[in-house]
Homo-oligomer: A and B are copies of this chain.
């Protein structure tokens, strides 16, 4: 299951992810490709998505509903703040959190500590209470 090289399909998939400004489901990507006329198969979409994630060019978040959501992103370490109303998401970097996570891990005798952080809320494009 070697990582597929660069192909037109991969470029199309990356284009869709770049165009969406929030996370989208693999199924979404597939549907949009179809809508644009590309006859790309579902299996191919999953293959490339997995490869892109492996390369760090795309982020995945498995939502509580059990589906994976993908989003193209910068390669460096960061987290996402996603709007629950419109799906728009922003990359954020919070040093305080990085430090706190490392410290807590050490306090409990854990090493090689990794963390996953997802922030969600309602962005200012929606009516305030």
Chain A interface residues (CB < 8 Å from chain B): 60, 62-64, 66-68, 81, 83-84, 90, 92, 94, 96-97, 99-101, 104-105, 108-124, 128-129
Nearest B residue (CB) for A120: B114
Flag if A117 contacts B117 (CB, 8 Å).
Answer: yes
B contact residues around A117 at 8 Å (CB): 101, 115-118
Q: What are 19 A-B pairs with beta-carbon distances under 8 A?
A: A62-B63, A66-B68, A81-B104, A81-B110, A81-B113, A83-B110, A84-B112, A92-B108, A96-B96, A105-B119, A105-B121, A109-B123, A110-B119, A111-B128, A112-B122, A113-B119, A113-B120, A116-B120, A117-B117
With A62-B63, A100-B96, A104-B92: A111-B115 Cβ-Cβ less than 8 Å: no
- B residues in contact with A68, CB < 8 Å: 66
Return chain B residues, CB-CB under 8 Å to A114: 119-121
For A113, the chain B residues whose CB sits under 8 A away are 81, 119-121
> Residue among A90, A96, A99 with the most chain B CB within 10 A?
A96
